[in-house]
Amino acid sequence: MLNTSLSDGNAQAALSGQLTFTDHGAFRDAAHQLVASQAQRLVVEVGGLEFIDSAGLGMLLLLREEAGATGRPVVLRNAQGQVKRMFTVSRFDTLFIVEP
């Protein structure tokens, strides 16, 4: 579901499959790892994510809140299909840096 790594001043996480309520615990743990890093930006690669529900959107908002407390932005990268539509409907482009 979520793999994390550090490179070039970015803490990067790659999401795949689905991000739903059942993933909350695993996502929370990975989010804490990202925020605990010394990276300047937190980048979440969502290109491998096939589906996200409202709980998944909420998890991303919690990550944003935690990162914002440390003054670092969260970047959502490469949204496709249903995930891209959910980000558009939810106006995530006003809350996150959304990169193609």
Can you give the residue range of the structural domain that contains 38? 2-99
Q: What is the pLDDT of residue 59?
A: 96
Q: Is the pTM of this model over 0.85?
A: yes
Contact (Cβ atoms closer than 8 angstroms) between residue 50 and residue 79: no
Distance CA 83, CA 17 (A): 11
Q: How many structural domains comprise the chain?
A: 1
Q: What is the pLDDT of residue 3?
A: 67
Q: What is the pLDDT of residue 23?
A: 93
Contact (Cβ atoms closer than 8 angstroms) between residue 82 and residue 54: no
Tens of each residue's pLDDT in the chain, 100 residues: 566 677 777 888 899 999 999 999 999 988 888 888 888 999 999 999 999 999 999 999 999 999 999 999 999 999 999 999 999 999 999 999 999 9
CATH classification at residue 32? 3.30.750.24
Nearest alpha carbon to residue 2 among 86, 17, 87, 40: 17
